[in-house]
Amino acid sequence: MNGYVLWLTGGTGVLALVFAILAVGRIGAMEVKIERVKELSEIVHRGAMTFLYREYKALIPFVLLVGALLAWKASFPLAVSFVFGAFCSALAGFLGMRVATRANGNTAYAATAGMNQALQVAFTGGVVMGMFVVGIGILGVVLAYWLYGDPNIITGFGFGASSIALFARVGGGIYTKAADMGADLVGKVEAGIPEDDPRNPAVIADNVGDNVGDIAGMGADLFESYVNSIIAAMALGVVAFGPTGAAYPLLLAGSGIVSAVLGTFFVRVKEGGDPQFALRKGTIATGLFMMIGAFLVTRALFGDIALFWSVLGGVILGVAIGYVTEFYTSIGSKPVRQIAESAATGHATNILSGISVGMMSTAIPVLLICAAVLIGYKFGGLYGIACSAVGMLSITGMTLSVDAYGPIADNAGGIAQMSQLPPSVRQITDRLDAVGNTTAAIGKGLAIGSAALTALALFATYATAVRLDHIDLNDPMVMAGLFIGGMLPFLFSSMAIMAVGRAAQSMIDEVRRQFREITGLMEGSAQPEYERCVDISTAAALKEMLVPGLMAVVAPIAVGLLLGPGALGGLLGGSIITGVMLAIFMANAGGAWDNAKKYIEEGHFGGKGTPSHAAAVVGDTVGDPFKDTAGPSLNILIKLMSVIAVVLAPLL
């Protein structure tokens, strides 16, 4: 690969970091003049950062142990690459969440001046996360390639990123849903107080959870998808086209960073305008800029535009899955109205309706993934499929900025409520939060689609490395691996959901205790013990994340070493098929239950305080670990097992 490619791509990574640092400066320069807003923002910030410190501290022994094993059994460069990937993933999450938690209170205060001001602050906080992820990600890949010059070595970088991502997603998901369930089931249903009411002991833990789950967790998720798609495409590209094939995905990623920076300038809204249109406008602009860049890069490197169509297929898949997700989960859509209507006849019908919507929502995304795979293969073979994944994830800088905006707006609404700001402020933050629910659902859809393509690209890399040119279903070892792989997403999801249930029970007991024992709490004359609830969620998340995370690492290693490369290929195939569909089902069912509850709270089917609302709250509570813990974690599970297989390939 020519040195100018590394310098040019590295330069786009530096551009992303500079843009992120400028956004940090804008957030830091803003003065919040309401003391209660500053106080609550600081409490949430401190709780989120404490969790992150403790999580990373718990993961250091794991990273060092795996690094030592890789140095012993594989190679020292691979071990260094693994540790470096884990460090970069943790650094991106730390920097992004540090600023995002500062932006929460700033957004609430900015809402006192109007819609556009609040949108700009919330989106700027999201931009910090988005740009740090792509900047650190691309610079990490470039540096690892510059050091070793071998895509097969830098798969260790992706392994490190995936390991941190899985624990961050599972741990963050357990934290946020334990707090959310405690706040909802006891506060809203039993005590009958509003959401984000300062009398609720779990309300601060709930706000902290939004950050550790939906900002740090999603950031880690897309970080590892982003770098693994590039690494897989580089590894396949070297085989197909030599150094040019390794350069192409790097230049695509660099084009995406420039496009995302330009796209941020399109996110503007007039007073009374639609913030969702403003965010969508920025995303569309980024996609268009990216298409122009991809066309020029493809033509310059290959002399034709065949691979451009593979990249275009990936981008269109990402957009299409986003719109399908929006249809099944947005407030006012037909499926969400059906779930809300079913709540009128009780809890059971509400649960059944949500499950059926989630199952139905798998059909179109799976067909879209099939189309993208076929288009990618037609114009570039296995390398074309990998380039489709890079194309979809090339605009991660923008899509993650939009996604991270959601929890910032949500927290701003909570802080506005607890600070007793004027109703006009809460009206603005509620509108931004409603848009954030949709952007979060779209972000999860994009993450699932990208996981499918990235896992397929990593599978192709593994198959090439072990010379596995076909999967023979007549081979009993392959069949055993296939069934084990198909089972693992269900076992993993069960562990994650049960972990949420156990953590939530501790939270519910604590919230009930405080309501029962703290005199004057319900009357508002006494303060709840917020720190107790924050500590319960933190301790439970760190304890419960270990077993599911370790299972994801151990299972492919055990199958590969005991049953052979064919069985491991079967395991990867089975896990991709069931994992993708289970992830789509749970993410969309959970999102639809959530917005069905909000649809009732807007005044439909009786509104708040009715039996319909109580049933909808239960549905939303069931859906919480679906959409925020198990479902998103499956994206990382299938990619982590695939990248472990690639790393393990030389030993097979």
Distance CA 517, CA 193 (A): 17
pLDDT digits (tens, 9 = 90+) for 519-563: 887 877 788 888 888 888 888 888 888 888 888 889 999 999 999
The answer to whether the beta carbons of residues 187 and 200 sit under 8 Å apart is: yes
In a domain, 273, yes or no: no
- Position 248 pLDDT exceeds 90: yes
pLDDT digits (tens, 9 = 90+) for 43-60: 888 888 888 888 898 899
pLDDT digits (tens, 9 = 90+) for 119-137: 889 999 999 999 999 999 9
In a domain, 189, yes or no: yes
CA neighbor of 525 nearest in space, from 264, 225, 293, 198: 198
In a domain, 175, yes or no: yes
Q: What is the pLDDT of residue 272?
A: 66
pLDDT digits (tens, 9 = 90+) for 312-332: 999 888 888 888 988 898 888
- Tokens 């599978």 map to which residue? 459
In a domain, 272, yes or no: no
Q: What is the pLDDT of residue 544?
A: 83
In a domain, 270, yes or no: no
Q: How many CB atoms lie within 10 A of CB 423?
A: 9
Please state the domain count of the chain: 1
- Tokens 């309501």 map to which residue? 515
Q: What is the pLDDT of residue 52?
A: 87
| Residue 339 C-alpha from the chain's centroid | 25
Q: How large is the average pLDDT for residues 194-198?
A: 72
Distance CA 31, CA 18 (A): 22
Burial bucket for residue 130 (CB in 10 Å: 0-12, 13-18, 19+): buried
- The residues near 289 (Cβ < 8 Å, ≥ 6 apart) are 258, 259, 262, 263
Which of 153-157, 258-262, 277-281 is least confident?
A: 277-281
In a domain, 275, yes or no: no
Q: Which domain holds residue 551?
A: 3-264+287-651
In a domain, 280, yes or no: no
Q: What is the pLDDT of residue 641?
A: 93
- Using 50, 70 and 90 to split pLDDT, how confident is the model at 614? confident
Q: How large is the average pLDDT for residues 2-10?
A: 87
In a domain, 281, yes or no: no
- Position 111 pLDDT exceeds 70: yes
Q: What is the pLDDT of residue 476?
A: 94
The answer to whether the beta carbons of residues 29 and 275 sit under 8 Å apart is: no
- Position 1 pLDDT exceeds 70: no
Higher pLDDT, 211 or 22: 22
Higher pLDDT, 284 or 447: 284
Q: What is the pLDDT of residue 2?
A: 65
pTM for this predicted structure: 0.91
Q: What is the pLDDT of residue 204?
A: 81
